[in-house]
């Protein structure tokens, strides 16, 4: 929403997406139902022309997409045809695997994971995205995050490009993500290697002495 407010992107969604989001976060994550509705009202007030309608006719085109998500693909496609004709449309989702890239061949729609889209946006508009990121960081109150910790949070969410870019701008260290996604800093690298060697040594079976 901050990126939209700074006119870096134009956000759109559907009532069907709202219903799906509410259905998932309220019972499954014990979210506050009234709080979710207040959030939705705030989003609608902040974004003129947010709602995509008239996309049902495009559903048959996206049989390659997971059935439960075809409405999202159809809405993005409808946006690219009518609302932003000739302009690229990004479909941003946590469930990339449910939206195979070939489903959008010969369309102006490209699907992205959340982290890949943020990194791509930073690569295109580093100054403006950095400004938005710093504004978001300063608004965090529970907990507050200094710049180094904020960079670490971005790495946790796989926003590698943005994390490295902000770390350089802010003069703070960016952690490294291990194969298991655990974060550590370069100063800890020898310690990590030593710990791994010790763990491996413990697993080596020693033959019993027979004499």
- Based on the fold, state whether residues 104 and 155 are members of the same structural domain: no
Within-domain flag for 205: no
100 plus 19 within the same structural domain: yes
> Is 132 a domain residue?
yes
Number of domains in the chain: 2
The answer on 56 and 100 residing in a single domain is yes
> Is the residue at 183 inside a domain?
yes
Domain boundary among 113, 135, 170: 113
Element (H, E) at 113: strand 109-113
What is the model's pLDDT at position 181? 78
Check whether residue 6 and residue 109 sit in a common domain.
Answer: yes
Whether residues 93 and 8 fall in one domain: yes
- Does residue 28 belong to any structural domain of this protein? yes
Last residue of a domain, one of 113, 136, 169: 113
Determine contact, residues 177/155, Cβ cutoff 8 Å: yes
80 and 146 together in one domain: no
Percent of the chain with pLDDT over 70: 89
44 pLDDT more than 80: yes
Per the domain annotation, does 105 fall within a domain? yes
d(CA 111, CA 96): 7
Tokens of 130: 């950095």
Regarding whether 140 and 101 lie in a shared domain, the answer is no
Contact 115, 157 (CB under 8 A): yes
**CATH number, domain at 100?**
3.40.50
* pLDDT tops 90 at residue 159: yes
- The answer on 23 and 91 residing in a single domain is yes
**End position of a domain, from candidates 113, 134, 159:** 113
pLDDT, position 29 = 79
Which 3 state secondary structure label does DSSP give 99? coil
Q: Per residue in 88-110, pLDDT tens?
A: 999 999 999 999 999 999 999 99
Over residues 143-170, mean pLDDT: 96
β 183-184/176-177 pair status: antiparallel
Question: What CA–CA distance (Å, rounded) separates 66 from 102?
Answer: 13
Together in a domain, 43 and 88: yes
Contact 3, 129 (CB under 8 A): yes
Q: Are residues 12 and 97 in the same domain?
A: yes
Peptide bond preceding 143 in cis form (omega within 30 of 0): yes
Instruction: Judge contact between 76 and 97, C-beta under 8 A.
Output: no
Structural domain boundaries, residue 75: 2-113
Looking at the structure, tell me whether residues 107 and 130 fall in a common domain: no
Residues 7, 107 within the same domain: yes
- Mean pLDDT of the chain, nearest integer: 89
**CB burial class (10 A; 0-12, 13-18, 19+) of residue 52?**
buried
Confidence of residue 207 (pLDDT cuts 50, 70, 90): very low
HEC sequence for 31-54: CCHHHHHHHHHHHHHHCCCCECCC
């Amino acid at each position: 929403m901050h990126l939209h407010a700074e006119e870096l992107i134009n956000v759109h969604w559907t009532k069907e997406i709202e219903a799906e989001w509410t259905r998932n976060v309220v019972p499954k994550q014990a979210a506050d139902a009234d709080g979710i509705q207040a959030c939705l009202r705030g989003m609608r007030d902040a974004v003129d022309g947010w709602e995509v309608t008239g996309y049902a006719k495009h559903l048959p085109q996206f049989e390659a997409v997971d059935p439960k998500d075809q409405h999202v693909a159809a809405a993005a496609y409808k946006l690219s045809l009518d609302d932003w004709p000739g302009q690229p449309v990004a479909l941003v989702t946590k469930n990339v695997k449910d939206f195979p890239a070939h489903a959008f061949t010969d369309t102006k729609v490209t699907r992205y994971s959340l982290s890949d889209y943020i990194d791509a946006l930073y690569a295109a508009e580093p100054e403006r995205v950095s400004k938005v990121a710093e504004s978001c960081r300063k608004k965090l109150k529970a907990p507050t995050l200094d710049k180094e910790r904020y960079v670490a949070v971005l790495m946790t969410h796989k926003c590698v490009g943005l994390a490295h870019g902000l770390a350089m701008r802010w003069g703070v260290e960016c952690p490294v993500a291990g194969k298991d996604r655990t974060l550590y800093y370069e100063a800890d690298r020898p310690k990590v290697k030593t710990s791994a060697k010790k763990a491996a040594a413990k697993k080596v079976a020693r033959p019993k002495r027979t004499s």
